[in-house]
Structure 1
């Protein structure tokens, strides 16, 4: 099984490329882009680590996520996703997240499963990795959620509705591709130009 090395930074993360429009083909799935911190959960037996794409260890920062990971039945897995603080309206609150005042309320939206049960899943197509993730989180532990998604022609309409509701945007991914390293042309990020994150100097994704 492959685990994150403390000195290796975003080289182990798949990163989306910016796109001007959302793909509409049947082989693409679309996820709402949460305004949070990109992170991996790594569990090895009774030990859980939270690693950011910049190589930081934030295990002690978000106790709810760690506790949820320890409640899952599998003892060895890696999840890729986003640490998010939800506001009263149910949308991500980056200002509150960044303030560090609500660390004990931060949750994790998992959108990929890179390994589990001793097996490396990176070479599997995304469609199978999504199935493995859904099975792992079937009991819906409080603190870790499977990020919802839609597949197919709905992509452009979903993006328009995301913008109308003030969300950050979408990340579209090809269902047949393996997990990549670095910038991946099969992960496309389309951001809402009216969202505060669009103007943020440091892109947190």
Structure 2
């Protein structure tokens, strides 16, 4: 596989990552956490990482970010690494719809980009995407049309997308550059952006 060209940003940037894991009390380092650490060292993109194993833990993590982290305004990207099917998210054996997740984040994501890793498909209708954006206040939601248990988007294209985003605030131009620079991978994973 060819090495991805990953841009390095000039200024410090931040990502807040929530990953659903089977047991959040275990102190295992996940592949996603390893990649985030590498992004800090090599791309000047810092992150806060939180493992969650229940919907309550996910909500508590978002509330902690909002009400206790004084740097919340610096986190432009909320990175969700969540398993699931279609537009449902699987947490601790229970499925939650994208509408339920929107209501969980209600009014809390003002101006943020919410990016979902390819552990689950993101396939929203125009009405579903507009509902999600209206309820959460998010600037955009992005993800993939093709899930892949063997090739995580965190290792490949997510890190490129994050760097491009921090280089250029225009989402349309970011997506154009992503497809121009990494067309084959973008098409293979079916990258999607709703804004």
Query: TM-score, structure 2 length as denominator?
Result: 0.32
Higher strand share: 1
Higher helix share: 2
Query: TM-score, structure 1 length as denominator?
Result: 0.31
